[in-house]
Amino acid sequence: MPGLVSDSGDSLVPFSTEPLPPPLYRLRHAPRPPHSRIAISWARGNCLRVSFFTNPSPPGDQSGGKVVEVSVGSGELHDVQRRRIAYGSVSPFALLQSQKNSMAALAGMGVGSSTNVAEWWEHVMAFSDDISSLLGNPKRATRSIIEDEKVVLKGCQEWVCLKVRLAYSLVQGYGDSEKHPKNLTWVSSRERQIFYGVGLISSVRRGVSIPLGVSFESFNNVEVPTCLKAAWELIEIFYAEKQSQAWLPERLVDWLASYDCLLSTTEGTVHSKLVDLQKELATLQVIENDQKYWQGISSALAVGWLDIVVKLLRLHGSYQLDQLGNRETENGLVEAIAVLVSKMPRMRPKLADGTLGECFNTKPEFMKAWERWRGQITKLECSAFWVQCEHNQTREGLRKLLQIMLGNTNSIIDASFNWMELYVSHFLYIKPFTMGLEGMDSLAQKCMQLKPSSHSHELMRLMLGIIGENTEVVLAECSRSFGPWMVAHAIELLTIGSSGAETLLHEEQYNLGGISIEELYRLVYAQVLSSHALTWQASEIAPVYLMSCATQGTRLLEILLYKQPVQQNQILLKTLEICRLYELDSISSDIMKIAGMRQWKHGRKGSGVFWLQKAQDEVRLNRISQQLFDYVGRSISDNGFKQWEGLIELLGQEAKTVSGLDFLHKYRDFKKSLQQITDGKASDAARQAVESLILLMKNPSTPQKFWLPLLHDSVSSL
């Protein structure tokens, strides 16, 4: 962007001065050139209106030009999804606000605050869960077994099926050993090798693919994870999950497992490498000879995807029945590593289904187990069996895995592709005892130096803001990368448990016109909502957010309400309903007046009178009554009276309070009676007619111009 000041390093939010590629939008129904002029203006919402003007055409040619609208869609989400998120987040947001208000009221009365704080954490967590589930559920696929597209021939398939059955029966006999590898001791692995060698593994290789975290969900037509969801979860981990502070590193491991696929830059990711490997697995004959196989395992191990490591290791050729005899040592080593990987101690309360490792809740227990586990690895590393292992690639590959588990920085750097992955590996193997945010920022800086990247991903920037404990940067990143929705909702999480952030966000800022940052972002979001008919149009979404803005919300809501269209009854009624909900009576009556005058001017007199009556607008009713009398004088004939009936009913008895319209009522009664007289009915009617006439003559509101017709009517009835 020309003229943009460069980032001198002291700016609040770090920004890059490199120009971003301009987004391109394709016009689908644009007319063919030449055009003499093109005009571009904003239409509703995110639409740009592009008007094409053709050259002055010869007379008779009708084509004067064309107007097309192009939606300046942004980011990964479609408008429909965006609206769905907007709809879904209203209730959690409104609930949280009301909880906040009631707690503030309690605090004002001096009711215990310590329980309140705990309760508030729960409320915020529930809010975060609601929002999170709204953004989709791309959790790790625990059983994403999909058919390989390159399944071997049919005959073989039967063979495989048979083997799988056999294998399953073995599993049953083994006390569900496949699910709980830790039940198997190191000594009994010989038998395990036989059981695996029988066919489960080969069947896995031939017919069934390995689960790779979230990756294959997209292939299975399950929701693809979005950056929005990933960002929300990241904020949730660091701000809202009070309990998780102790096992923050493990939460990051999980987070990366779910969203690594989003971090793809030019450097690639562990996820993308594993996807490539997965594609090749079916074609490779002897996979352990392939370097990619070992690289894939190393990478998966580095970021802690232990289940994938074990699955891949057991595809090793030495497990095959015909190979077992002469590759015994090699196979023993592979299995040894697999068992060690699956027994890795982890500082976390529990593991999701299908993930491996041993959980420890407290730090002392974890440290003890960690030392023991490391001891086993060191022992294996020094083992004499390596010399006997004749297969070069296997030996090297396995030793590299050991190095990663021992925390060798270089091996870890080799195995990871970006600094986030390296960062997570650090927590897993180099700094396993990290707790809380302590030292996280400097470690991130170190990882970024080790794995420099030309392009900074939005999630990485957000991460840096969070671990740098800089609320303003986090807000700026949220706003810049994920839009107003994200900021308006994430603020609820940012303020919890941090009085500094709370002061920053809730303090009224002079340079913001006396509103707080929180209110500012809510106003921005509400304006975005209001720009779209559906999220405004009495879906009551924008008003909910506006009413949570103490200083300027109501005023902005009033302005927006005035701008709503009154042409359509339904939309008008929905607007009035918002006025009723928020007790904006004067706005409501103004809108009714606008609607009433519009209806009146468009010839729908009944409707006009109805709305003006509802607005109790005496002045206008008086004014239009004069026009009505003119109209009545012209059109009321004895047979045309039916038309008036409805309007007069609408005016009702109460009409006397409003202007001279009650005259119509009496006039109608008089006419009715006259009609009955001419129909030759009872003398009662005549008496009534006389009464009506007297009433009419006495009434000061009877317009002068009706005196003559009244006289005429009376005389004729005599």
Partner 1 sequence: MAVVVEPSSSDLQIHRLPQPKYIDALRWLPHLSALDTHIALALHDSHSAASSIEIHALKTPPNPPSLDLQSSWTCPSRVSSLRVSQTPQKPLIAASTFDGSLHFLATHPVNLSIQSDTSIEEKGFHVGPIWGVDLLGSGGECVTVGEDGRVNLVTVGESRLSYRRVFDSEGLVSYTAAKWASPAEFATGGLGFSLQWWDHRKPGGAVSQFKGGWGRGGSSGIVHSIDIHPSRKHTCVAGGSSGTVFAWDLRWPEQPVVLSGIGTGERENTSPSESEVWEVQYDCFVHSSNISNVSSSRILPVMMCSEDGILAVVEEGEEPAELLAEPCAINSFDINVQNPSTVICSLEWESVAIITRQ
Residues that bind partner 1 (CB under 8 A): 71, 79-80, 83-84, 87, 90-91, 94, 532-534, 538-540, 568-569, 573-574, 577, 580, 602-607, 610, 613-614, 616, 639, 642-647, 649-650, 652-654, 657-658
* Residue 396 or 649 having the CB closest to partner 1: 649
**Helix, strand or coil for residue 67?**
strand
**Helix, strand or coil for residue 42?**
strand
CB of 613 to partner 1, least distance (A): 6
CB of 647 to partner 1, least distance (A): 4
* Residue 92 or 304 having the CB closest to partner 1: 92
Q: Which two tokens stand for residue 284?
A: 């490779």
Site of tokens 């939005």: 458
* Residue 110 or 603 having the CB closest to partner 1: 603
In whole angstroms, what is the distance from residue 46 CA to residue 153 CA? 53
CB of 643 to partner 1, least distance (A): 5
431 CA to centre of own chain: 34
Site of tokens 């990143």: 477
Q: What is the DSSP letter of 19?
A: P
In this structure, what are the phi and psi dihedrals at residue 360, rounded to the nearest 5 degrees? -135, 135
Q: CB–CB of 342/331 below 8 Å?
A: no
Q: Per residue in 371-394, is it b (16+ CB within 10 Å) or e — as a string?
A: eebbebbeebeeeeeeeebebeeb
CB of 617 to partner 1, least distance (A): 11
CB of 591 to partner 1, least distance (A): 14
* Residue 185 or 653 having the CB closest to partner 1: 653
47-53: strand order across its sheet: 37-42, 47-53, 65-71
Which runs of E-coded beta strand occur in 354-447? 358-360
- Strands 65-71 and 47-53, sheet pairing: antiparallel
Omega cis (within 30) before 34: yes
Q: CB–CB of 32/20 below 8 Å?
A: no
CB of 694 to partner 1, least distance (A): 25
* Residue 365 or 630 having the CB closest to partner 1: 630
Q: What is the DSSP letter of 180?
A: -
* Residue 602 or 687 having the CB closest to partner 1: 602
CB of 620 to partner 1, least distance (A): 15
* Residue 44 or 372 having the CB closest to partner 1: 44
* Residue 77 or 340 having the CB closest to partner 1: 77
Site of tokens 């990711």: 269
Q: CB–CB of 106/117 below 8 Å?
A: no
CB of 567 to partner 1, least distance (A): 9
* Residue 235 or 597 having the CB closest to partner 1: 597
CB of 400 to partner 1, least distance (A): 47
